[in-house]
Amino acid sequence: MTDDPSTATDDATHATGADADGSPDAEGSADSGGSADPGSSAEAGTAVRRGRFSGGPAREFLSSLDADAAIFEADLAVDRAHVVMLAEQGIVDDATAGEILAALDDVAAAGHGALSGGEDVHEAIETAVIERVGPDGGRMHTARSRNDEVATCIRYRLREDVLEAIAATLTLREALLEVASEHVETTMPGYTHLQPAQPTTVAHYLLSYEGTVARDTARLLDAYGRVNRSPLGAAAFAGTPFDVDRDRTAELLGFDGTVRNSMDASSSRDFLTEAATALATLSTTLSGLAEDLILFSNKGFIDLSDDYSSTSSIMPQKKNPDTLELTRGVAGDAIGEATGTLSLLKGLPRAYNRDLQRAHAGVFEVAGDVAEATRVAAGAVATADWNEGTLADAAGEGFSTATGVADLLAAAGLPFRTAHEVVAEAAPAIDDGDSPATAAETVDEAARSVLGESLFAYVGRDEVERALDPAESVASRDSAGGPAPDAVRDALAAAADALEEDSATRDARRSSLAAAAESLEAEVASYA
């Protein structure tokens, strides 16, 4: 992925020629970065570099060919669409276009590994085409630069990664909803600061993550919309004198439109930072979920499936949550990549700078890692066993129903801060094993100390005992989005509808890309 060197020196360009229709040919266009016969110089070797720029000790450092395996298929698609457009516009004759397209098929069949050396995949593919077709193979580069070419390839590949990440979030949300629907009334402890806080339910807990992952889906869908715009036709950054049809190449490649300003199109990488940040945010969600499940496993609240665990090499009794630990670890990579991408871009002037060569490979890698971690988290959630008895026993630990008693007193007319003081006075004397009746007596003693009168002057004994029962406490919290069973069932239905809508959106985008690929294949075949 390198800047087009075609205007760097007279030594690097051909004399201007003309096609049969009078148009300047690719080799002669300063915008095209056209190619000479690679056999014209002993040092040539590639379609672009020759003469004083053909070698040197830094040539390996400049090369991105190995890393470009990630965009090999993307580059072939971009090449094909560009050549079809050139033929349709009369810039390249149909016969030459057919020869180039056939050569591209040969290159595709041979694979990335068969490419000879070069600075990048774009140069290597063009060189391979010229080797098969002859100098006319260089016409494939007419009216474009490697700048707009690579920007298009990155977007073409990245949108696939984003769609895969979106699909993984949908799978995780489905797993969260399915397990939540099975545990609407399963009480469990809720924590703040890792201290027992208030009782809740497994369903309410899992829905808290489903809501977060749903926003992760939304961020990725939004990012996709800005990724899926075509820069092709912007050339180096200042457009081209050729009568190109940028909308046509965008259509053939399945883009939703173009990045219109040619300088913006070739040089901007904000779409990379947006995708990287959305992936990092998703990975942070996964890290929190993984941490919770690791702690729950430690407490005996859940049993992880053997499929998502491992054992020790020396301690055979161990069952370790290794996959979740790795899921948690992926967040560090994703956050680092998002930060690194922003740092790389922060000081670059317009338009193209070679720094951009290093801007995307890590994002591709992290996208794959985050998508895989998301699917692993979904599997761990779907296959874990929730130990309902252990969870119910722990739900009231640490006097977690204290707030319910304070709320009860406040509802009876006592100022909440006064009610809070009463319950706080009782808290040190209440043990986890105390029954609701025993705990109610303890709170009554505290009320006599703070208020100078019995607790039961304000509320009935039965009401207090119900408030002290974890299951009753949960049932009373029926505000929208709360843990009460009816509120949770409403939330489950709404979340299922949103999941279905997001799935349909993702499927539509996938279908649109498939249709474009089929259309491009048909157009290419017409030149055979």
The 10s digit of each residue's pLDDT in 482-514 is 999 999 999 999 999 999 999 999 999 999 999
Read off the pTM.
Answer: 0.87
Could you tell me the pLDDT band of residue 310, with boundaries at 50, 70 and 90?
confident
- pLDDT > 90 in the chain, percent: 75
The mean per-residue pLDDT over the stretch 167-194 comes to 97
- Locate all alpha helices (DSSP H) within 134-269, ordered by sequence: 146-182, 202-227, 246-252, 262-267
d(CA 334, CA 283): 7
Assigned token pair, 346 = 């922060």
Closest among 152, 147, 139, 154 to 47, alpha carbons compared: 139
Query: Is the model's pLDDT at 228 over the cut of 70?
Result: yes
The mean per-residue pLDDT over the stretch 325-335 comes to 96
pLDDT value for 80: 97
The class (CATH top level) of 10-143 is mainly alpha
- Locate all alpha helices (DSSP H) within 190-321, ordered by sequence: 202-227, 246-252, 262-267, 270-299
pLDDT value for 50: 57
Query: Is the model's pLDDT at 370 over the cut of 90?
Result: yes
pLDDT value for 26: 33
Closest among 275, 284, 281, 264 to 362, alpha carbons compared: 275
- pLDDT tens column, 435-447: 999 999 999 999 9
pLDDT value for 375: 97
pLDDT value for 42: 33
Stretch among 29-33, 130-134, 245-249 having the lowest mean pLDDT: 29-33
Contact 235, 34 (CB under 8 A): no
pLDDT value for 13: 32
Query: Is the model's pLDDT at 30 over the cut of 60?
Result: no
The mean per-residue pLDDT over the stretch 224-246 comes to 97
CB environment 460-496: b (16+ within 10 A), e (fewer): eeebbbbbbbbbbbbbbbeeeebbbbebbeebbeebb
Query: Is the model's pLDDT at 28 over the cut of 50?
Result: no
Which residues have CB under 8 Å from 444's CB, separation 6+? 454, 455, 456
Could you tell me the pLDDT band of residue 454, with boundaries at 50, 70 and 90?
very high
Could you tell me the pLDDT band of residue 233, with boundaries at 50, 70 and 90?
very high
pLDDT value for 47: 63
d(CA 175, CA 213): 12
pLDDT value for 10: 33
Could you tell me the pLDDT band of residue 45, with boundaries at 50, 70 and 90?
low
Contact 232, 257 (CB under 8 A): no
pLDDT value for 316: 73
The residue that leads in pLDDT, 250 or 128, is 250
The class (CATH top level) of 148-393+493-519 is mainly alpha
- pLDDT tens column, 139-160: 999 999 989 999 999 999 999 9
Q: State the chain's mean pLDDT as an integer.
A: 88
Could you tell me the pLDDT band of residue 57, with boundaries at 50, 70 and 90?
low
The mean per-residue pLDDT over the stretch 43-57 comes to 57
The mean per-residue pLDDT over the stretch 230-250 comes to 97
Could you tell me the pLDDT band of residue 51, with boundaries at 50, 70 and 90?
low
The mean per-residue pLDDT over the stretch 291-303 comes to 96
CA torsion sign for 45, 47, 49, 51 is positive
- Burial class of residue 452, CB neighbours in 10 A (0-12, 13-18, 19+): exposed
pLDDT value for 113: 75
Query: Is the model's pLDDT at 248 over the cut of 70?
Result: yes
CA distances from 224 to 228, 281, 391 (A): 6, 15, 40
d(CA 352, CA 96): 30
d(CA 50, CA 52): 6
Compute CA 102 distance to the chain's CA centroid, rounded to the nearest angstrom. 35
Assigned token pair, 313 = 């090499």
pLDDT value for 32: 39
Assigned token pair, 46 = 């590639």
Active site residues: 193, 312
Query: CB neighbours (10 Å) of residue 314?
Result: 6
Could you tell me the pLDDT band of residue 24, with boundaries at 50, 70 and 90?
very low
The mean per-residue pLDDT over the stretch 113-132 comes to 81
